[in-house]
Amino acid sequence: MDCIINRRAEFSASHRYWLPELSEAENIANFGACGNFPGHGHNYELYVSMAGPLDEYGMVLNLSDVKHIIRQEVIEPLNFSFLNQAWPEFEQTLPTTEFIAYAIWQRLSPHLPLVNIQLSEHPRLWADYQGNAMEAYLSVSTHFSAAHRLALDDLSLEDNTKIYGKCARPHGHGHNYHLEVTIKGEINPRTGMIVDLVALESLIKDQIIEPFDHTFLNKDIAYFAQVVPTAENIAIHIRDLLQEPVRGLGAQLHKIKLIESPNNSCEVFCSSTAPALERLSGTTAQLVNV
């Protein structure tokens, strides 16, 4: 049986989103502050996932060798660089998070048995690439605060308490929910983007954050008048609200992850089949409740 191992690395670099064939006004309209001269920087966090059988020493690969390859092929050329000029491919395609992940895969795949490259630009934005042509995954993280009560209307308080415990108390309770939205789609060969990130973030804000934030979900969100607002049901509802609007941006909604507390989280995938990224996560629908 194969085992997946992961190696973390980091580098700091700057980039600028600017296409010379566009006017200044068009660049500003497309890229906003990301087009400001002379660029801006990030502390990138990289996770390289590899798979294979264990050797006679109990390892998939010697991690010292893995570290050397990642450093030589990726970290040394990119660390403290201006990415637009660091690699030839970034002269043709803007070095967005998703396209950098793609480019890193191309550099490492001749040397390592890759199954996933994950690159974080910052804690609220990251991309995954798994070697499937120009298809990649982009994830954005945001949050909202809301209260809820877990109870079925046709049951007594005693019976609801047997099912939901303290969460059935009559006046409810609140959480600071953290929401992760993952989309998948084709990387544009010129802009390096799956979708317009500003449009995606605005969509999530308009469809989810503004309606849900600082509400009592059972009373303020019509859907939850009939459906118990468990973390699972909230995640499913968010998925259903976002699927068509994300498709309208030219991408596909892939996964919703809702973190209710440090101990409880729920993941809902948007298809019945589980591609490689889902297998890395464990299951196609997962509740963590510790």
Q: What is the pLDDT of residue 272?
A: 54
CATH of domain 142-290: 3.30.479.10
**Per-residue tens of pLDDT for the chain, all 290 residues:** 689 999 999 999 999 999 999 999 999 999 999 999 999 999 999 999 999 999 999 999 999 999 999 999 999 999 999 999 999 999 999 999 999 999 999 999 999 999 999 999 999 999 999 999 999 999 999 999 999 999 999 999 999 999 999 999 999 999 999 999 999 999 999 999 999 999 999 999 999 999 999 999 999 999 999 999 999 999 999 999 999 999 999 999 999 999 999 999 999 999 754 444 444 443 334 444 43
Sign of CA dihedral 136, 81, 9, 114: positive
Do 1-131 and 142-290 fold alike per CATH? yes
All residues at 6 or more sequence positions from 201 whose CB lies less than 8 Å from its CB, including other chains: 140, 142
Q: Among the options 98, 260, 267, 278, which is catalytic?
A: 260
All residues at 6 or more sequence positions from 6 whose CB lies less than 8 Å from its CB, including other chains: 47, 48, 49, 50
Q: Is 3 a catalytic residue?
A: no
The radius of gyration of the chain's CA atoms, rounded to the nearest angstrom, is 22
Q: Among the options 89, 135, 143, 167, which is catalytic?
A: 167
Residue whose pair of structure tokens reads 């989280």 in the numeric block: 265
Q: Is 98 a catalytic residue?
A: no
The closest alpha carbon to 175, from 200, 143, 147, 150, belongs to 147
Helices (H) and strands (E) in the chain, counts: 11, 11
Q: Is 260 a catalytic residue?
A: yes
Q: What is the pLDDT of residue 280?
A: 45
Superfamily assignment of 1-131 in CATH?
6-pyruvoyl tetrahydropterin synthase/QueD (3.30.479.10)
Q: What is the pLDDT of residue 286?
A: 43
Per-domain boundaries in the chain = 1-131, 142-290
